Amino acid sequence: MSKESNGSTSSTPTADSWDDLAKLGEYILDQLGRDRRSDNLLVHWVAHRLAEHMLTAETANDSGDREAARDAATLLIATLWQARGGWPQGWPPDAVREFTEGVRRVVGPTYGDETPRLPPWLSSLDDLEALHRAERAAWLDAALLEVGADTLRQALDAAPDDPSRPSDLGDIQWQLRHYDEAEGRIAGLAHDDEDPSRRADRVRIHGRVLEDIAERRATLIERALKDARRGQRRKPSRNSGAMGSP
């Protein structure tokens, strides 16, 4: 797991109740306690101390002891949440970090306003860009559905309800939203005998989408070569290449 993920430290948990704060505390304990490759005594001590405070806050017979334990746990949870970029597994969760970095790497160039009757090759750029967008969308949908959403929903559900919503939580929300959209798209492309929740069927559907894009690209190449041989100018099409992706 990466330790280089940087969590925002601009937001402190603002739980409305001890139940909400305890939920975040349990999530933090889960994250700290899941690192089985490290012998970091400080991490284990902090996790043990937080668990001890939370147990006392729930089970102590004396109300004063429960209140003191809740105060101590609240302070520790807030401190740990602000320092989440330094958790053993890093923050945000790897599924968010890796996907977000991958998306940033594939963002392509943009071009200026349409020029009427462009010369050969250049007249095909709009269609080529449309194909690139469709193919990129198909690959991103495939990546989202492969990663799944359980880990992301767990992280978002455990996070404090802060109206400022720091950017790291925004990344999770963005990925979940697009995951749901990807599920809807692939469901619409499935045949009657296919179940998109099954990986084999999902791969088959993605394959059909990419094959269709490949056919469109082959047609575009053939047209571009023909135009180049004839020196024919064309007006770029704004609608070519529009298609659904899984």
pLDDT at 207 over 50: yes
pLDDT per residue over 165-180, tens digit each? 566 788 888 888 889 9
More confident of the two residues 87 and 156: 156
Per DSSP, the three-state class of 222 is helix
pLDDT at 204 over 80: yes
28 vs 155: CA distance, rounded Å: 10
pLDDT at 35 over 60: no
Joined together, the tokens standing for residue 174 give 């963005």
**pTM higher than 0.75:** no
34 vs 37: CA distance, rounded Å: 9
144 vs 53: CA distance, rounded Å: 38
Structure confidence at residue 208 as a pLDDT band (50, 70, 90):
very high
